[in-house]
Amino acid sequence: MARVACLHLVPALANPLKSSSLSRNHSLLLLAEKCHSLQRRRFSSSASKISMSLRAGIVGLPNVGKSTLFNAVVENGKAQAANFPFCTIEPNVGIVAVPDQRLQVLSDLSKSKRAVPASIEFVDIAGLVKGASQGEGLGNKFLSHIREVDSILQVVRCFEDNDIVHVNGKVNPKSDIEVINLELVFSDLDQIEKRMEKLKKGKAKDSQSKVKEEAEKSALEKIQQALMDGKPARSVTLTEFEKDAIKHLCLLTMKPIIYVANVAETELAEPENNPHVKEVMNVASELQSGLVSISAQVESELTELPYEERIEYLKSLGVSESGLGNLIRATYSLLGMRTYFTSGEKE
């Protein structure tokens, strides 16, 4: 069984296991035993997290390829993808097994009856436009659907195609990113203002609650100022106590972001040569965020092929892995997560 944990919880597993080395059976068995004992330990730290699943929210302007990407990586996804804005209305949710060859190696060694992979849940919401936080387009009510996710995947259009409408009339990744980020900022500002108003009216029942409220007020004031300056909440330096005090708000700009540069299939092998991707790279570096280049169209075509033909098709494009693998690896890296395993005859 594969689970996801913060890296600092399992330092012994910091170096990934090479699944192809079956001659290292003894090491694998020791690893399985170590992981099985880890499963029984209980972690009380607020920073600790063990889960069978990660959650990622997909955002972006209309017609950038969000729903096409969602349908491709989920494979059985039913998100509507069409050449007009706001074709997605209700949020689409899909759960994907995390591909990991190490799981099968351990399963074979332990003669397990079944193998249970870790999973990642994708939530695709309606495209956002400038003014969404004030009710433009479909409004910001859909942002509530991604407040509980672990990270945000912001899909950015980096391909030219006159047959696919761009909501702002032209492909401009930097401008697109600014629009989305600003709407996330406005949404958080609105939530913070409401929360601070509530804190002013309420009175703490005991000294412990009062201390926590003071920590929350302090954190919110710092974050509010940063947001007013156009900076995300995650850029603010907070104490662990302050972070814990505001965790319940699930601020959008507190979440780590991965920019997903959606390129044409002809540019998939060398996306860095695409001037639009270079723009996204600069923004991601400046904001200390992750970056993955993907062709949503290629991912969509892959789902129509048998597994063996998928590998050949990717090779013909000059790449060795699908976008799903790249996305998951980038998400794990950004969140500082690792997979650890429990292994036995049962599972």
Q: Are 40 and 344 in contact (CB under 8 A)?
A: no
Choose the weakest-confidence range: 6-10, 108-112, 220-224.
6-10
Find the mean pLDDT for residues 82-95: 58
| Residue 29, pLDDT score | 45
Find the mean pLDDT for residues 47-71: 77
Average pLDDT taken over every residue of the chain = 79
Task: Check pLDDT > 50 for residue 78.
Answer: no
The rounded distance, in Å, linking the Cα atoms of 331 and 333 is 5
Q: Give the Å distances, CA to CA, from 241 to 134, 222, 247.
A: 32, 14, 10
Task: Check pLDDT > 80 for residue 12.
Answer: no
Find the mean pLDDT for residues 213-219: 94
Q: DSSP string of 202-260?
A: ---SSHHHHHHHHHHHHHHHHHHHHHHTT--GGGS---HHHHHHHGGG--GGGS-EEEE
What confidence category does residue 206 fall into, taking pLDDT thresholds of 50, 70 and 90?
A: confident
Any long-range contacts for 133-142 (C-beta under 8 Å, 24+ apart)?
Answer: 133/183, 133/186, 133/187, 133/190, 134/186, 137/62, 137/85, 137/86, 138/86, 138/89, 140/183, 140/186, 140/187, 142/91
What confidence category does residue 278 fall into, taking pLDDT thresholds of 50, 70 and 90?
A: very high
| Residue 203, pLDDT score | 76
| Residue 42, pLDDT score | 33
Q: Which two tokens stand for residue 280?
A: 């996204």
Find the mean pLDDT for residues 90-106: 84
What confidence category does residue 155 fall into, taking pLDDT thresholds of 50, 70 and 90?
A: very high
What confidence category does residue 229 fall into, taking pLDDT thresholds of 50, 70 and 90?
A: very high
What confidence category does residue 220 fall into, taking pLDDT thresholds of 50, 70 and 90?
A: very high
| Residue 304, pLDDT score | 86
| Residue 44, pLDDT score | 34
Cα of first residue to Cα of last residue in the chain, in angstroms, is 6
State the helix-helix crossing angle for 173-201 and 207-228, rounded to 10 degrees. Answer: 150
| Residue 8, pLDDT score | 41
Angle at 287 between CA 169 and CA 189, to 5 degrees: 80
